Amino acid sequence: MRYVDEYRDPELAHGLTAEIRSLVAPGETVRVMEVCGGHTHAIYRHGLEELLPPEVELVHGPGCPVCVIPMGRVDDAIALAETGGLTLATFGDMLRVPGGRGSLLEAKARGADVRMVYSPLDALTLAGKEPGRHVAFLAIGFETTAPATAVTLLRARAEAVPNFSVFCNHVLIEPPLRAILETPGLRVDAFIGPGHVSSVIGTDAYRFICEEYRRPVVVSAFEPVDLLQSIAMILRQRAEGRCEVENQYTRVVRQEGNERALAAIAKTMEPREDFEWRGLGALPRSGLRIRDAFAAFDAERLFALPDARIEDPKACRCGDVLTGQLRPWECGVFGTACTPERPLGTCMVSSEGACAAFFSYGRLRRPREEASVGA
Amino acid sequence: MRDGHRRRPVLRDELVTLAHGAGGKATRDLVEALFLEELGNEALAPLGDSAVVPPVGGRLAVTTDSYVVRPLTFPGGDIGELAVNGTVNDLAVAGARPLWLTAGFVLEEGLPVARLREIVRSAASAARRAGVPVAAGDTKVVERGKADGLYVTTAGVGVLEHDLDLVPAAVRPGDRVLLSGTLADHGMAVMIARGDLHLEGDVRSDTAPVHELAAALLGLGDALRWMRDPTRGGLATALNELAGQAGLAVRLEERALPVEPAVAAACEILGIDPLYVANEGKLVAVVAPEAAADALARLRAHPLGARAAEIGVVEAEPERMVLLDTALGGSRIVDLLVGDPLPRIC
């Protein structure tokens, strides 16, 4: 497959793993957090951890957009879906996310009209096709998916679509990174920066990580060779005493980001005072809401939602996993009360979630990793 | 009135109506002028309450399966052909020679009769190709909106003409895993044909009868341990069931898995793993290591097995798991799928 095979070339990969080995001292531990759920998925899918020396430990960060949605927002979405005459459209990953009152999939089974779409524009098209119903799009995701929601809002207003709204749950990448960096006893030495988010916000957005927290960042693409190269770049920075933001994903990401996408977001959305994160609690200016000018398309203003705050289940330690304090299998309910089939925490829902990825692809390696931790 | 003098039934209706399910004249016209005309054979022709078939010697295999695919027609096949091949394949991988099929059609009011005829004709042609007559059938009509055009349920009977027990318990560590051709063609063809992914691509369903491939492998005798057709849930699910029931591990080699480039590309775009996507004309077999080369040659000698490959090996540990050695030299677990294989969003 062109444009894919090149980035999965075993010889290139072996060259990079040899370089990675040469850049670490035996017995030391370098903890690298990949922020993005897409990276987590790729690491497990290709078995990358087995190619790395035991000195390099990958920590799976908060960048799975499904994993950070708090239970209260899921319940709001369910209440919205159960509104008479309303169709709730959303991405497939959201359907199984557990809230306080079950998941959207269960609401669908009870009779709510929940449909899976692949983009917010598909939801807008659906509204056009079914003028007798109101179509609300449950929007989630970081700056990656926010531009598509923004463009949809702009089009809905331009076409004066009367039966369409957005339940906005977009979040920003910087606040959770700051929250992680402020964690007492931080266990992360460097970051693999997210690829898709960075294509929108650019690499400059991460300079605070180097300047304020002295941790190197390499923005990476998603193929195995990309990820190995990014890890090698991080280790080279360390070896050369540098601490900067580097861009491995030069085929897509620019330093300044995508100005048109950023403008579309700024035109339609603005930061909320604070937004609740699964496992991380309320973080100031971390979520986006729809601007007044687009109030006619804001589901939160059009419908009375319960706006419930539901505490995460006590036994679930998604927050510690998201901040890299705990590895998935160290959580007391991992693989027992919490499995991909019956997830307790959101990290177990999406295949990009740290726990689900580890459970589905990597749980066999646990003994080896535990042994290496003790060393 | 003797049969020979009866008027030839004519079906003038353009659409299936509730009358066609009421059991009266319209039903008779539909059955005789459409189903019997297309599927006709000696066992079906008397239209009795049961088909009476000649005695067979040997153990019997019996199976049934329902088909609810949407859209009804997709690149490479349709629901009629699928319903025949699927049941033929279920018999074949049990080690049976398929003998008879039955077919029940649940029709939605408003279905164009011409469309129905196409589908029944396609089922008939698949049955002829496999040499397995449809000996009994049934038709019901439900109100508009109560079915996606039509649903088909087929059942089949086959005879085992050998003493082999093709069960998970027959599988041993060291045995080889063979696959008769490319992965994921059917599932991806249907997913693309649905149209809501806005993807286009030359991907065709692989729907086909694998009974000749299965018969070729039966020639290996007890070196053949186990066979399956990896349909819903794909190869990963079929092998997880084997690993679970046998208490063994299956280790797959990623580089050995045959996948058409267009299918691989569609899977990549949608974030779907071809290991979990349905196949409708493939057979996965476990054979003794010393018979692997012979088995592969037998599969490749048949046009449906031209892309057959040895894709993995059975190991003693870790028990009840399927593993994949990745092309890069890593490895991972290939677990049972949870929920639908939904495309990932970013």
Give me the mean pLDDT over the B159-164 stretch. Answer: 96
Instruction: Report which of A172, A148, A166 is spatially closest to residue A300, judged by C-alpha positions.
Output: A166
CATH topology of domain A71-171+287-302: Rossmann fold (3.40.50)
Counted across chains A and B, CB pairs separated by less than 8 A come out at 92
A41 Cβ under 8 Å from any chain B Cβ: yes
Residues of B in contact with A62 (CB under 8 A): none
Q: Burial of A303 by CB count in 10 Å (0-12 exposed, 13-18 middle, 19+ buried)?
A: middle
Listed range (A111-125, B6-20, B218-232, B293-307) with the worst mean pLDDT: B6-20
pLDDT surpassing 60 at residue B140: yes
Q: Are residues B176 and B320 in the same domain?
A: yes
pLDDT surpassing 80 at residue B330: yes
Give me the mean pLDDT over the B269-294 stretch. Answer: 95
- Domain stops at, among B95, B130, B160: B160
Q: Are residues B132 and B202 in the same domain?
A: no
CA distance B107 to B79: 13
When pLDDT is cut at 50, 70 and 90, the band that residue A371 belongs to is very low
Residue of A nearest to B263 (CA): A1
Is B329 close to A13, i.e. CB distance below 8 A?
A: yes
Domain boundaries, chain A: 71-171+287-302, 318-366
Instruction: Report which of A92, A288, A135 is spatially closest to residue A200, judged by C-alpha positions.
Output: A288
The interface predicted TM-score (ipTM) is 0.83
Number of domains making up chain B: 2
Is A14 close to B343, i.e. CB distance below 8 A?
A: no
Q: Are residues B152 and B225 in the same domain?
A: no
What does each C-alpha distance from A317 to A330, A348, B338 come to in angstroms? 9, 11, 22
Q: Are A303 and A327 in contact (CB under 8 A)?
A: no
* pLDDT confidence of residue B7: 65
Q: Are A347 and A354 in contact (CB under 8 A)?
A: yes
Chain A closest CA to B118's CA: distance in Å?
30
CA angle A116/A263/A268 to nearest 5° reads 55
Q: Is B5 part of a structural domain of the chain?
A: no
Is B344 close to A122, i.e. CB distance below 8 A?
A: no
Q: Are residues B50 and B143 in the same domain?
A: yes
Global pTM exceeds 0.80: yes
Residues of A in contact with B257 (CB under 8 A): none
Q: Is B341 part of a structural domain of the chain?
A: no
Q: Are residues B195 and B104 in the same domain?
A: no
Give me the mean pLDDT over the A240-269 stretch. Answer: 97
Residue of B nearest to A363 (CA): B333
Q: Are residues B140 and B196 in the same domain?
A: no
Of A1, A38, A46, the CB nearest to B346: A38
* pLDDT confidence of residue A353: 84
* pLDDT confidence of residue B197: 74
* pLDDT confidence of residue B1: 43
Residue of B nearest to A353 (CA): B344
Chain B closest CA to A340's CA: distance in Å?
7
CB A150: neighbour CB atoms within 10 A? Answer: 26
CA distance A364 to A341: 18
pLDDT surpassing 70 at residue A215: yes
Chain B closest CA to A48's CA: distance in Å?
6
The boundaries of the domain holding residue B187 are 168-333
